[in-house]
Structure 1
């Protein structure tokens, strides 16, 4: 029972923290890279990096143990016009023991862009977490 209460308190603290900062600041924003990633175990951190004339989406996940099989998938999504659906235009997936990082191929577009990542323990799909940057 105490473990459940503790888990609930951690979840509430995480929700409160994410509401206190903008979504783009909670994950990371354009140009900040890995240095600004939040250090949350088994939660992906996503950002974009400029690459020549385009951008690449980058995501990483820190595992709860170095032997854990960890999954991270990153996508670059675009939106042509406000209200139209977001379309995945590039993606990359990494599954490895320990720390995992994935980088998409370069995307060149003038459309709205968003980087989304899914990550966590590879063998525990129910524990995968999705995070996205704000549109830019």
Structure 2
């Protein structure tokens, strides 16, 4: 339930940011990275990650109709020990017209990690889809 409330709040913040500064295509927490090689399914997030010696970056993108206000939210989560709850250590959100991509800040995490993303129409939470990778 908290996740849905947070998603609605982020969506509202993104929409407010778009109406306050229409020249901006995304919220300030987002940076564009390289293209993610994924199957293109409308309103379904595609997740990947980049790992190097300095840390891990979570990337999510979603394909959407060019006239749709679209939201994509990506998180890097870790688990401190087996059976512990997954904790978000980095996240990013983008709200824009059409297809969108969000990239988390780089974080260092040695514990088991997963990348989760929620994406879909920004104004219709019931049509947003959440998906996660397997732990790695």
TM-score range, shorter chain: 0.7 to 0.9
30, 33, 36: which is aligned to 1:34? 36
Point out where structure 2 has 5 or more consecutive residues left out of the alignment. 1-34
- What's the CA shift for 1:51? 4.7
2:51 is aligned with 1:50: yes
- Secondary structure at the aligned position of 2:126 is classed as helix
- What's the CA shift for 1:52? 4.7
Point out where structure 1 has 5 or more consecutive residues left out of the alignment. 1-32
Larger Rg: 1
**What pairs with 1:52-131 in structure 2 (closer than 5 Å)?**
52-63=53-64, 65-131=65-131
- When the two structures are superposed, what TM-score results if normalisation uses the length of structure 1? 0.72
Moved more, 96-105 or 50-59: 50-59
- When the two structures are superposed, what TM-score results if normalisation uses the length of structure 2? 0.72
- What's the CA shift for 1:38? 2.0
- What's the CA shift for 1:39? 1.4
Q: In proportion to residue count, which structure has more helix?
A: 1
CA contact (8 A) 1:51 1:106 kept: no
